[in-house]
Amino acid sequence: MAIQPLFTQIEKTIQLNDGNIILETHTGFPFNESNLYLITPGGTIIWKAEKPDVRSLYTRIKLNEDFTLSTFTTDGMFCELDLKTGKIISKSSFK
Can you give the CATH number for the domain in which 88 is found? 2.40.10.480
User: Which ranges of 1-95 does DSSP label H, i.e. alpha helix?
Assistant: none
Residue 31 lies in a domain: yes
pLDDT-derived band at 1 (thresholds 50, 70, 90) equals low
The DSSP annotation for 83-94 comes to TTT--EEEEEE-
Is the pLDDT assigned to residue 90 strictly greater than 80?
yes
Number of domains in the chain: 1
d(CA 57, CA 77): 10
What pLDDT was estimated at residue 4?
92
Residue 61 lies in a domain: yes
d(CA 66, CA 81): 11
pTM of the model: 0.95
2-24: pLDDT as tens digits: 889 999 999 999 999 989 999 99
Residue 41 lies in a domain: yes
Residue 5 lies in a domain: no
Residue 1 lies in a domain: no
40-53: pLDDT as tens digits: 999 999 999 999 99
d(CA 50, CA 68): 14
Range of the domain at 34: 10-93
Neighbours of 61 (CB within 10 A): 20
